[in-house]
Amino acid sequence: MGWRCVWGGVLSRARAGSAFRRFADGDVGGRSPMYARVAGALSESDEALRVVEAVPARGRRPAVILAALHDLALAGRAPELAAAYAEGDADGAARAAVHTLLRMSDSVADLAGRRSVRVGETGRCAVLYPAIAEAAGRAGADKVGLIDVGCSAGLNLNVDRVGITYSDGRKLGDPSSPVQQTCSVMGDRSVPNRVVPEVVARVGIDLDPVDVTDADDARWLRACVPPDQREEAARLDAEMALLAAEPPELLRGDAVEVLPDALGRVPEDALPVVITTWRLSRFSLESRLRFLHRLSDAASARAVAWVSVEGVGVAPAVPTFGDRRASGHSIIGLALFGHASLNVESLGRAWSRGRLLSWVADPWE
């Protein structure tokens, strides 16, 4: 039995080492040389891998471990690692990460075991703004209530509070906002020059929502951005500060079950606009269809809109332009549910989490 335990431990550490090497050699290497170096150092330390082996299974992924270490640095609990990150010293960060993991193994295990990595949180408003404005215009609504499904912190709910500049010169949103985003437009058609009407409710739904007014939650969201991605971190900080000034309602739970409660929080004289951005792929097909039925049921009493930005073929009932699945872009969809009707249209395509789009829908008056 003893030999089996030893051999099992060796295999577990070998798997962990391989995971960190793949992480270092994969996509993160191009996005974050700092994290590639740190992950490589962790993969070469048998003592560090022993610590990873003891972390609850859901928290052993390299991205989670590195975010936990970054959180400790941001909290001032790992000054050596924080200094190396601040100085851009990849070799120093690699040594400090191993040292911090060994010295603070319980703290790392606690964070990694109860937190989920949040990535790609910023930059989505540029693709959402014209779609939400289109939904309101087609429904004849002068007020909307936004419901973000799979919201994380709810940064999408800032959509009317940011300024957006498109590569063709179009400007939408708030030009005086401290948060300014840019978006490249493909094709010869600009996004419509419609304005998102007054937003009277902002509701987020998530299994584990992030409250940006809570210091620990906000720091964790920041910790999920690699320390050498400073522009991304600055954007995130600005968006979190804007959201914290007027925080949304956050509902915890399964979206299909919580959706009726969220819809009930939108005043009767406003159009509920439900938003999904790259979330439905995490749902089973059955759950996606139940989600669609929830929206249809809610429309028996009032009009409801659904704006989706999902991979090709992921959002039920949304046309795909005949595009193939896993084609590298997403479809911007708009569904309007009436008392006994459903109108669904694809408005365009989006790439790079909303930083590039092609508007396809014909002008609507």
β-strand 171-173 against 180-185: which pairing, if any? Answer: unpaired
Q: What Å distances lie between residue 194 and 68, 147, 270, 305, CA to CA?
A: 42, 20, 17, 16
pLDDT the model gives residue 364: 65
The neighbouring-strand residues paired with 310 are 331
Give me the percent of the chain exceeding a pLDDT of 70: 95
Contact (CB, 8 A) for 61 and 111: no
Contact (CB, 8 A) for 126 and 183: yes
- pTM for the model: 0.91
Profile the chain (365 residues) by mean pLDDT over runs of 10 residues: 40 78 80 94 94 88 96 98 97 97 96 87 88 96 97 94 96 96 93 96 95 96 95 93 96 95 97 96 93 93 96 94 90 92 94 91 72
pLDDT the model gives residue 365: 58
Over residues 100-155, the pLDDT tens digits come to 999 999 999 999 999 988 876 777 899 999 999 999 999 999 999 999 999 999 99
Residues 6+ apart with CB under 8 A from 309: 124, 127, 128, 131, 276, 277, 278, 330, 331, 332, 333, 350, 354
Residues 6+ apart with CB under 8 A from 188: none
